[in-house]
Each structure stands twice: as C-alpha cells, then as structure tokens.
Amino acid sequence: MKRWIVIAGMGALLVAASDGREQIERGTALYGEQCASCHGARMEGQDVAPALRSPAFASEWHGRPVADLTWRINSTMPQNAPGTLDAAQTNAIAAAILHANDQHGDGAELPESPAAQKTLLIGQ
C-alpha cells in the first residue's frame, strides 16, 4: 500500500516539474485536428479566421491572463462546435499558440485551474 503512495507522489513531482513540451506537442496535434481548417496549418489565418501566429496576435494578447485566452478558445471554438473541447485540450491548444508566438512565459505546463491561469500573464 505504501508503495503506491510513494509512486503516486513521485509521479506528482514529475508532472509538477514538467517543462510543458508534451503539452505543446499535444496542443499542436489538436490544433491540426480542430483549428487548422479555419486558422491555417501554420496559424497564418485565412478568410475571416484571424492569424494566431503574428505580431498582431502577440501584441493583442501580451500581458493578458492566460485565462482570457483559454476562455476564448473554450467558449467559441471550434466554430462549428463551440464548448466541445475539454480543459486539457483547450490548455494544450493555448500552449501551442503561445509557443508559436514566443509568448509562453517560462515554458511550464499551463495549469488547468482558471484561478491559477488568471495569475499567469501571457509573455511574462
């Protein structure tokens, strides 16, 4: 019984120490599945869907809480099925977008808690 507690505790430490690369990789794959058809394969934007990788995007979101971006993604995307992404998917996509704009802060995995995300400012 104690072995499971120790193993779970060690796993929790490993997750907490994650540098976010796996989350970014998951987000990049999810972006390809859920977002690229409207926002472009390289986040360049197309038609009425704005670019998600651009100086304008970086400028608009810089200094704002990560919670604002994840809320926008979760409540309005994908356009044909808003609100269907779970928190982990939303956070992974946000991490990929922020990484593409060099706005990922310290590169740590984004927390799922909206309260914690409110304390994280994009690009800082």
Q: Supply the pLDDT for residue 18.
A: 61
Least confident residue range of 3-7, 72-76, 91-95: 3-7
Please give the model's pTM, rounded to 2 decimal places. Answer: 0.83
Q: For 84-94, what is the mean pLDDT?
A: 97
Q: Supply the pLDDT for residue 6.
A: 27
Residue that has been written with the tokens 């802060």 in this structure: 105
Given a cut of 60, whether residue 2 has pLDDT beyond it is no
Average pLDDT, the chain: 85
CATH annotation of 20-118: 1.10.760.10
First-to-last C-alpha distance (Å) of the chain: 42
| Domain residue extents for the chain | 20-118
Q: Tens digit of pLDDT for each residue in 14-51?
A: 334 367 999 999 999 999 999 999 999 999 999 999 99
Q: For 43-69, what is the mean pLDDT?
A: 95
Asked whether 48 and 110 are in contact (CB, 8 A), the reply is: no
Beta-carbon contacts of residue 33 (< 8 Å; ≥ 6 apart): none
Question: Which residue did the predictor score with more confidence, 97 or 19?
Answer: 97
* Geometric angle at alpha carbon 24, from 82 and 64, rounded to 5°: 65
Q: How far is Cα 87 from Cα 83, in angstroms, rounded to an integer?
A: 10
